[in-house]
């Protein structure tokens, strides 16, 4: 089957999909890396400051699970030189396929790893840093936007950064920061990235080594709950910002982070965890988790359940493919047509027509969001994400009925994009949404399967909600 997500970076890393697990220290261990690798993605073990015995054990566990392509992430600037040297020697001795580096760009180290035939991927926060990493020999880059959870290197939003960084280098670029679903992946691919990196979205999985407290806080958090702060600084070079969920520390209720006192608030197998340190709650810890660094990217508002990593990635693949599938043949005319009987064939035909319409709507919203005035971007983006979600639901429903989802996009897309004036295009988009509502209203009473009925009812609600939002904007 064609793999619409395939990009050259997949050959470099050795994965089916360019969907990458971020090398999250403490959190991304063998269990999560294995789950991501088995799902066709690519995982980095987050091994910052870990002793070589742990690195060895984690690498062996991934290999023993049958995943041969994976990476190991280190942070040279945050690691004692002697330990860093031992880590590097270990990675070379183990011949790990890929090494991920973050924070600074050390040319000598990159040269040494390349000389030992290891592939090097550097995460960077600016176009200048990207050029330096490419010059030092990096095989690929991760462009990290300011939306990212954990330590944030630069200060540019991901979309702006990609716009500057992608044309500045010739090695493949992956995008990181605030990504949570297939619409995000389709967007960064459209902006020239070859793939997407997920941190926060893959913490909320049974396989991540984060403590259940951290996972639960992510599931209940909203996008507006994250902030950038320098309050969590013990263990790191000075002046480093992290994106976390607001807590008692960021609200100033735990005192001055820079007063110089060391207060133990937790324990990890005998190692004290200090207030204001960069440690986040892990399965192996006990203590006052609320006051620890609860890392989260801005995509956290769209992570509302703890879902197996493979399942989350599979859904992202379906959503992305639904958006990328392009076939402009004008078959899904958005006119009023009655839906036939609720037999399997009629149901399949109705779902197909809806899928084509949703894909067209998602693509219109995707392209419109790029040029919309700032105040309209959240609305258009919300529509885009909704449409992508329904593409995934419809695709799965069609597959569940034994059908093969078409890759067509209705000619609605072409017609909508021919309208240059934004209000007129939004009005046209709303017409398309109303068509979907009418089809759903006609179809719903004829659907026998309770689960599909619930999903289609949710789709109907969401469309009515979005139509009302757009109408309000147009009236204003």
Ligand X SMILES: Cc1cc2nc3c(=O)[nH]c(=O)nc-3n(C[C@H](O)[C@H](O)[C@H](O)COP(=O)(O)O)c2cc1C
Out of 18, 71, 76, 177, the only residue in the binding site for ligand X (CB under 6 A) is: 177
Q: Which CB sits closer to ligand X, 176 or 353?
A: 176
Please state, in angstroms and as integers, the Cα–Cα distance from residue 413 to each residue in 184, 338, 423, following that order: 19, 22, 16
Q: In the window 85-114, what residues touch ligand X (CB under 6 A)?
A: 100, 102
Number of neighbours of residue 381 by Cβ within 10 angstroms = 18
Give min distance, CB of 409 to ligand X, in A: 28
Q: Which of 42, 70, 198, 236 binds ligand X (CB under 6 A)?
A: 198
Sign for the CA dihedral angle at 368, 372, 376, 378 comes to: positive
CA atoms of 21 and 19, how far apart (whole Å): 7
**What are 159's two structure tokens?**
């979309």
Position 178 contacts ligand X (CB under 6 A): yes
Stretch that binds ligand X, among 104-112, 291-299, 390-398, 418-426 (CB under 6 A): 291-299
- Minimum CB separation from ligand X for residue 210, in Å? 7
Cα(200)–Cα(154) distance, integer angstroms = 18
Q: How far is the CB of 174 from ligand X (least distance, A)?
A: 10
- φ, ψ of residue 290 to 5 degrees: the values are -60, -30
Nearest distance from residue 441's CB to ligand X, in Å?
Answer: 38
31 vs 455, beta carbon nearer ligand X = 31
Residue 274 CA to residue 82 CA, distance in Å, equals: 23
Q: Considering the complex, state which of residue 199 and residue 310 has its C-beta at the smaller distance from ligand X.
A: 199
Describe the chain by its helix, strand, coil percentages, rounded to 5. Answer: 50, 15, 35
> Which CB atom, from 151 or from 367, has the smaller least distance to ligand X?
151
Smallest gap from Cβ 459 to ligand X, in A, equals 27
Letters for 23-62 (x = contact with ligand X by CB under 6 A, - = none) are: xxx-x------------------x-x--------------
Burial class of residue 371 in the structure, from the number of CB atoms within 10 Å of its CB (0-12 exposed, 13-18 middle, 19+ buried): exposed
232 touches ligand X by CB under 6 A:
no
Surface-to-core class of residue 300, CB atoms within 10 Å of its CB (0-12 exposed, 13-18 middle, 19+ buried): buried
Q: Which of 59, 75, 143, 265 binds ligand X (CB under 6 A)?
A: 75
Cβ 121 to ligand X shortest distance, Å: 10
- Give the largest CA-CA distance in the chain: 73
CA distances from 294 to 26, 203, 204, 229, 231 (A): 13, 11, 12, 12, 12
* Nearest approach, Cβ of residue 242 and ligand X (Å): 9
CB of 424 to ligand X, least distance (A): 35
Pseudo-torsion of CA 432, 433, 439, 444, nearest 10°?
A: 170
Residues 120-149, interacting with ligand X (CB under 6 A): 123, 144, 147-149
Interacting residues toward ligand X by CB under 6 A = 22-25, 27, 46, 48, 73, 75, 100, 102, 123, 144, 147-151, 176-179, 197-201, 203, 280, 295, 297, 299
């Amino acid at each position: 089957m064609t793999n619409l997500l395939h990009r050259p970076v997949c050959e470099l890393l050795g994965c089916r999909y360019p969907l990458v697990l971020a090398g999250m220290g403490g959190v991304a261990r063998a269990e999560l890396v294995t789950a991501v690798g088995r799902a066709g993605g690519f995982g980095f073990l987050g091994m910052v400051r870990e002793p070589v015995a742990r690195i060895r054990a984690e690498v062996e566990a991934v290999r023993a699970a049958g995943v041969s392509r994976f990476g190991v992430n280190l942070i040279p600037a945050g690691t004692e030189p002697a330990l860093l040297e031992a880590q590097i020697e270990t990675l070379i001795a183990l011949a790990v396929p890929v090494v991920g580096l973050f924070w600074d760009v050390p040319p000598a180290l990159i040269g040494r790893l390349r000389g030992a035939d290891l592939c090097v991927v550097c995460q960077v926060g600016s176009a200048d840093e990207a050029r330096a990493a490419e010059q030092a020999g990096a095989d690929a880059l991760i462009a990290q936007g300011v939306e990212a959870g954990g330590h944030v290197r630069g200060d540019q939003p991901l979309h702006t950064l990609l716009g500057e960084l992608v044309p500045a280098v010739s090695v493949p670029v992956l995008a990181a920061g605030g990504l949570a679903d297939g619409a995000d992946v389709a967007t960064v691919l459209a902006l020239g990235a070859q793939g997407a990196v997920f941190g926060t979205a893959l913490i909320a999985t049974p396989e991540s080594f984060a403590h259940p407290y951290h996972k639960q806080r992510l599931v209940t958090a909203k996008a507006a709950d994250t902030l950038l702060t320098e309050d969590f600084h013990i263990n790191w070079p000075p002046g480093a910002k992290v994106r976390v969920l607001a807590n008692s520390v960021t609200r100033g209720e735990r005192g001055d982070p820079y007063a110089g006192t060391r207060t133990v608030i937790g324990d990890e197998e005998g190692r004290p965890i200090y207030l204001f340190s960069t440690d986040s709650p892990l399965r192996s810890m006990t203590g006052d988790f609320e006051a620890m660094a609860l890392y989260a990217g801005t995509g956290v508002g769209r992570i509302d359940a703890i879902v197996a990593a493979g399942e989350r990635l599979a859904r992202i693949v379906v959503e992305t493919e639904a958006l990328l599938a392009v076939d402009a043949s004008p078959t899904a005319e958005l006119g009023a047509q009655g839906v036939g009987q609720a037999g399997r064939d009629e149901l399949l035909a109705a779902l197909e027509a809806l899928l084509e319409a949703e894909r067209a709507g998602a693509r219109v919203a995707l392209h419109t969001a790029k040029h919309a005035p700032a105040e309209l971007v959240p609305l258009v983006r919300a529509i885009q994400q909704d449409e992508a979600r329904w593409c995934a639901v419809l695709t799965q429903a069609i597959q569940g009925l034994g059908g093969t989802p078409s890759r067509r996009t209705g000619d609605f897309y072409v017609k909508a994009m021919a309208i240059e004036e934004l209000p007129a295009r939004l009005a046209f988009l709303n017409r398309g949404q109303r068509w979907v509502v009418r089809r759903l209203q006609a179809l719903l009473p004829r659907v026998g399967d309770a689960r599909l009925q619930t999903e289609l009812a949710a789709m109907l609600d969401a469309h009515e909600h979005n139509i009302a939002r757009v109408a309000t904007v147009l009236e204003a």
